[in-house]
Structure formats: C-alpha cells, structure tokens
Amino acid sequence: MMTQYGLHIDQNRCTGCFACVVACKDWHNVPAGPASWINVKVIEKGTYPDLFVAFLPTTCYHCKSPACLDVCPVGAIAKRDEDGIVTVDRELCLGKTDCGQCLEACSYSAPQFGEEEDAKMQKCDLCIDRWAESKKPVCVMSCPMYALDAGPLEDLRKKEQIARETEGFTYSESLGPSVLFKAKRR
C-alpha cells in the first residue's frame, strides 16, 4: 500500500494564535488576501455565561480520493504516488472565474484563490520542498503549542487518543481526508 502523508492536530492545544497561518504565507510567499493555505476556524457555542469555544486549523487534507482531482477538467490536480500529497499545476489551472469546480467539489474548502481576476487555484502542498530537506511543514514547526504534526499516517496513528473527528470537523468517508485528531475535551 502507498504511504499516505497527513496531519495530526491536537485541538486541545490550539490557542488560535495564527502563527501557522502567517508562517505559511511567509514561507510560500502568499500575499495578503483571501488565499491562505491554512486557516484557523473559531467555533463558538452557548449563551452567556455558559460558553464553549474551540479553535481548529483547517487546510487541505490530501484525501485518499480527492474530489478536486476527479472534477478538474484539465488534469491540473495530481496525487503523488510516493506520499499521497495532492498537488496543483497552476499553469494548467483554468482559474476560479472560468472553472472553480474543485472548490465546489471539496467539502473542506481547501482550494484557495487570490483576489486577482483570473485567480488560479493554490493550496497546501504539505511543504513538499521542506520534506525534501528532511524538514516538517512550516505550520508544524511554527506551532508554539506543538499542536500540529505531520508525516506518514501510519506513524501519526501511533499517537494517543486518536480520533477521526473533532469539534468543527466531520470525516468524509467518500474523500478519506488524511488528518487525525486528539479531539477537543468538553
């Protein structure tokens, strides 16, 4: 079986500090604007004074069966054999205005588009360039809470209290997102 790389997120530790978001923008040179390869979702529930709040980093989960890849009309999206990382060839991409089908197909809003008119799709590539230098993704290395990890899923599965779902995240059987959690304690 192919090695599938993915993410592990300990949601109990995420303070919503945005270090991963900006570290990613700096490393990958993504300008300010709507495109961000990783985001932080804030989940707020309850009414004063009984409240529940959690944070969740959201990104591309390099699915087992990526819907984006299936719908792309020009074959701009590919899944790498060696690590299962889903990549996009922006030269081939038709752009959000003319196409945008990948965004519609993805349950996790992973495809990102800048604010320019003919914005091409961009998204997390799990820092392929860094793995080549034996470095983990910049989001993982920037997290002050050590809430993030990345690597082959079979290794990540060895962590304690592994869960497929957590606050703000539903597992899709059809896509098979490559992400594991330590679920948020209520």
Partner 1 sequence: MTENQVEIVRTICNSHCGGTCEMKVHVQDNKIIRIEPDDRPGHPRMCARGHAYRQRVYAPDRLLYPLKRTGPRGAGEFVRISWDEAAETVATELQKVKAAYGNAAILHFCSMCDPHTLHHVGAFHRLLCQFGGYTAPWGFISHEGATFAAGLTYGTRRKYVQTEHGADEYASSKFLIMWGWNPATTDLGSLTNLALVLAKEKGTRIVTVDPRFTDSAAVFADQWIPIRPGTDAAALLSMAHVVMKENLQDQAFIDKYTLGYEPFKAYVMGEEDGVEKTPQWASLISGIPAETIAKLAREFATNKPATLVTSIGPGRTAMGEQYHRAAHALEAITGNTAFANWQSGPSRNMKFNPQLPSPPNAVEEGMPPRNIALPYRSRTVNSSARVNVSSFANAILKGKAGGYAAEYKAIWLSNTNYLNQLGDVNNTAKAFEKLDFALVTEQFMTPTARFADIVLPVCTFLERHDIVAPRGGQVFAILNKAIEPLGESKSQREICQLLAKKLGIEDYGDASDEEMVKNIIEQASEEVDLPDFETLKKEGMHRVKRADTPGLQKDSPKLPGDTPLKTPSGKIEIYSEVALNMNQPQIPALPKYIETWEGLNDPLVQKYPLQLISPHLKRRAHTQFDNLPWLRELQIQAVSMNTVDAGKRGIQQGEMVRVFNDRGEVRIPAKVTERIMPGVVALPQGAWYTPDEKGIDHGGCVNVLTKNEISPGGAFACHTALVQIEKVVE
Where do contacts with partner 1 occur on this chain (CB under 8 A)?
A: 12-19, 21-23, 25-27, 29, 31-33, 44, 46-49, 51-55, 135, 138, 141-146
Of 56 and 86, which CB lies nearer to partner 1 in the complex structure? 56
Of 75, 146, 69, nearest to 110 (Cα)?
69
Smallest separation (angstroms) from partner 1 to the CB of 179: 20
Of 40 and 71, which CB lies nearer to partner 1 in the complex structure? 40
- How far is 58 from 102, CA to CA, in rounded Å? 17
- How far is 141 from 167, CA to CA, in rounded Å? 23
Within 10 angstroms of residue 24's Cβ, the number of other Cβ atoms is 21
Of 117 and 133, which CB lies nearer to partner 1 in the complex structure? 133
Smallest separation (angstroms) from partner 1 to the CB of 33: 7
Token duo for residue 99? 């196409």
Smallest separation (angstroms) from partner 1 to the CB of 100: 22
Element (H, E) at 58: strand 50-58
Smallest separation (angstroms) from partner 1 to the CB of 25: 6
